[in-house]
Amino acid sequence: MPQSNDSQQASANGPQKVWGGVFREPTDKRVESFSESVSFDKRLADHDIDGSIAHARMLAACEIITAEEATAIVDGLEEIRGEITAGRFEFTAAKEDIHLHIESALTTKLGDIGRKLHTARSRNDQVATDLRLYCRHAMDRIDGGLLELQRSFLGFAMREQGLVIPGYTHLRRAQPVLASHQLLSWCEKFARDRERLADCRGRTNVLPLGSGALAGTSLPIDREHVKHALGFTAVAANSLDAASDRDFVCELAFVLSLAAVHLSQWAEEWILWSTEEFGFLQLPEGFCTGSSIMPQKINPDVLELIRGKSARMIGNVQSLLVLLKGLPTAYNRDLQEDKESIFDSIDTLQAMLGVAAPLVAGTKFDHARVVATLGRGHLDATSLMEALIAQGMPQRTAHETVGHLVRQAMTRNVSLTELTDQEFSRECAGWDGTLRSALGAFRAVERMDSFGSTAPARVADQMALWQQRLFSSADA
Ligand code: ARG
């Protein structure tokens, strides 16, 4: 068997690069620190080791290395995992990235056996595999965080059954709704986020390892073996595409950013609703902070930061798309820049979810203040209009009629319920007072009884469904 005679040699300027054979000059130190990624990709270590273990076992199963060599490699990798976990592992820019760190530590332990691990593999398909594993894991954690948040909203909806609040469009009083209905609306948004996450997970869970640098390999590998070992559902079919495909990173960044946008919208609403001016909500004090100069302040900083942090996540989607747009086929080193953006989006959303769920769980409506405002803004106008329509009046006529009645009420500074029968009769021929049953915020809510509407019976049905969806283990 041909042997190289420089297998363990280190250059005078530090460790020999794994790719150094053809080079006559050492890497410039400035290039080392410019091009290193280990400072941020070391968080891939666990997945890199999992991938390498699966790869080594496959190489043995295919008789490319011996079973003894594979065992030594697996044991060596597990030792390295232990060292990294215990903080006993040294990272250096000279060794570029996490992949080279782990491989070189293995070679230090095992000599030439360690030098066999990279058989039929390139860092291009290796990093693509590691990143898919990392993202898959992150998606599962984030899905759990979104589920917790949904459960908090459902819990709040259940505690507030029966409370009517003003509903807004254009941030103007529109129609009354149940607080529970409003709270469940967040469950819907986060359910869609979870669906998108699951969908994205499917496309992420495809194995690139075995694609080599770009062209595959001439060695008789078994990619199905690795697929099963790592829990992938498919094997990527085109080596050129697989080694450089980062669609899953962009998709995930987008899915996370949309969840962050939902959180930001919610945060904005609750910042408003907890102001002295609205006074609807009492936020838990443990989730507010004070002012260093104004002793009376209790500020909604957590909600503001949730709103604020979503900005960077939106930026990350843009960074990733721009990163990819100019790349020709197959791996280009630009791709190393994908990690900080996606890691940041994952970390940020997780951090947001970590505070959002308990904040929701600790928040209360100020019933007295909410109920005291229900008479304002003619929230029952649409209910009256629909009652007229139900009696046969054309919609446009009913709209105009109620418009006149509202104007009359505004002129006298009263609510629609306070108009006299005479005033109603002037606008509606045949007024006999029965339509008063459409007036008042509570009655208006009760009448909104079609599927998806805010009537108490409908909302109770939805709460029961959510209870099933979020707490039955099959679905949760
Ligand atoms: N650190 C690199 C990255 O994250 C690993 C792949 C490097 N491949 C190469 N041929 N230089 O993309």
Ligand 1 midpoint to CA 336 (Å): 6
Ligand 1 midpoint to CA 358 (Å): 40
Closest by Cα among 124, 107, 29 to 69: 107
Q: Return the CATH architecture of domain 380-439.
A: Orthogonal Bundle (1.10)
Assess whether 39 carries a catalytic annotation: no
Assess whether 170 carries a catalytic annotation: yes
Least confident of 3-7, 181-185, 381-385, 444-448: 3-7
pLDDT digits (tens, 9 = 90+) for 317-337: 999 999 999 999 999 999 999
- What is the Cα 381 distance to its own chain's centre? 39
Residue 167 phi/psi, 5° resolution?
A: -95, 145
pLDDT on residue 347: 98
pLDDT on residue 12: 44
What pTM value is reported for the model?
A: 0.94
How sure is the predictor about 15, in pLDDT bands with cuts at 50, 70 and 90? low
N- to C-terminal Cα distance for the chain?
56
Q: Residue 356: is its pLDDT beyond 80?
A: yes
Q: Which of 32, 44, 127 to mutate to test the pocket of ligand 1 (most atoms within 8 A of CB)?
A: 127
How sure is the predictor about 9, in pLDDT bands with cuts at 50, 70 and 90? very low
**In what helix (H) or strand (E) does residue 50 lie, and over which residues does it extend?**
helix 45-61
From the CB of 131, is ligand 1 less than 6 Å away? no
Higher pLDDT, 13 or 271: 271
**Which one from 4, 170, 292, 473 is the annotated catalytic residue?**
170
Q: Report the percent of the chain where pLDDT is more than 70.
A: 96
The one-letter amino acid at 51: G
Q: What is the CATH number of domain 23-119?
A: 1.10.275.10
How sure is the predictor about 474, in pLDDT bands with cuts at 50, 70 and 90? low
Burial of 165 (0-12, 13-18, 19+ CB in 10 A): buried
Cβ of 404: how many Cβ atoms within 10 Å? Answer: 13
Q: Residue 13: is its pLDDT beyond 80?
A: no
**Which one from 7, 11, 33, 291 is the annotated catalytic residue?**
291
pLDDT digits (tens, 9 = 90+) for 259-278: 999 999 999 999 999 999 99
pLDDT digits (tens, 9 = 90+) for 38-61: 999 999 999 999 999 999 999 999
The residue ranges of DSSP E strands in 80-179, in sequence order, are 164-169, 172-178
Of all atoms in ligand 1, which is nearest to the CA of residue 37? 1
Ligand 1 midpoint to CA 55 (Å): 18
Regarding the domain with residue range 131-212+238-372, which homologous superfamily does it belong to in the CATH classification? Fumarase/aspartase (Central domain) (1.20.200.10)
From the CB of 124, is ligand 1 less than 6 Å away? yes
pLDDT digits (tens, 9 = 90+) for 222-242: 999 999 999 999 999 999 999
From atom 2 of ligand 1, which residue's Cα is the shortest distance away? 336
Closest by Cα among 240, 218, 17 to 125: 240
Q: Which of 99, 336, 338 to mutate to test the pocket of ligand 1 (most atoms within 8 A of CB)?
A: 336
pLDDT on residue 181: 98
Classify residue 164 by its DSSP letter: E
From the CB of 336, is ligand 1 less than 6 Å away? yes
The one-letter amino acid at 112: D
Q: Residue 5: is its pLDDT beyond 80?
A: no
pLDDT on residue 8: 42
Closest by Cα among 203, 245, 206, 239 to 221: 239
How far is the C-alpha of 462 from the C-alpha of 135, rounded, in Å? 32
Mean pLDDT (the chain, rounded): 95
**Domain boundaries defined on the chain:** 23-119, 131-212+238-372, 380-439
Structural contact between residues 101 and 91, judged by C-beta atoms closer than 8 angstroms: yes
pLDDT on residue 200: 98
From the CB of 320, is ligand 1 less than 6 Å away? no
Q: Residue 1: is its pLDDT beyond 70?
A: no
How sure is the predictor about 21, in pLDDT bands with cuts at 50, 70 and 90? confident
How far is the C-alpha of 211 from the C-alpha of 242, rounded, in Å? 7
Q: Residue 16: is its pLDDT beyond 80?
A: no
Ligand 1 midpoint to CA 56 (Å): 20
How far is the C-alpha of 316 from the C-alpha of 309, rounded, in Å? 11
pLDDT digits (tens, 9 = 90+) for 414-434: 999 999 999 999 999 889 999
From the CB of 98, is ligand 1 less than 6 Å away? no
From the CB of 151, is ligand 1 less than 6 Å away? no
Residue 278 phi/psi, 5° resolution?
A: -80, -55
From the CB of 120, is ligand 1 less than 6 Å away? no
Burial of 201 (0-12, 13-18, 19+ CB in 10 A): buried
From the CB of 37, is ligand 1 less than 6 Å away? yes
